[in-house]
Amino acid sequence: MYGGLQGLNKSETAEKHGEEQVKIWRRAYDIPPPALQTSDPRWPGNEAKYAHLHTACIPVTECLKDTVERVLPCWFDQIVPDIKSCKRVVIAAHGNSLRALVKFLDGIPDKDIVELNIP
């Protein structure tokens, strides 16, 4: 969830805010992009699939640290038990979710995660 960057053109955003700032917002461990307002049409809470959730449960922005907190319970509760049961597991996920998992599994320090790119 790229917050206020959600759906924006990366090149135009870099022209406006600078490439380094956009890289920090998109790749840093604990620096989230600017938040979306809940009145913004891009806010996920406007989608019918989230109608059953309280608005406080729907993020307005997210950094990689938040993604790690979301991904690791799935890793430990679902994926690890399957691996221990000798099941083959395929993980198909958004790039940032994969970055979170790779950060955890490879023990990548917070300061170095900016350079990890999942194509």
Q: Rounded to a whole number, what is the distance in angstroms from the first to the last CA of the chain? A: 17
pLDDT digits 0-9 by tens, 42-98: 999 999 999 999 999 999 999 999 999 999 999 999 999 999 999 999 999 999 999
Q: Is the pLDDT of residue 1 over 80?
A: no
The Cα 50–Cα 44 span in angstroms is 7
Res. 32 pLDDT band, cuts 50 70 90: very high
**Checking phi first, is residue 96 left (phi over 0); if not, alpha (psi -120 to 50) or beta?**
alpha
- Which residues, in sequence order, are CB contacts of 34 under 8 Å at separation 6+? 3, 4, 5, 25, 61
Q: How do the domains of the chain map onto residue ranges?
A: 1-62, 63-119
Residue listed under structure tokens 């917050």: 3
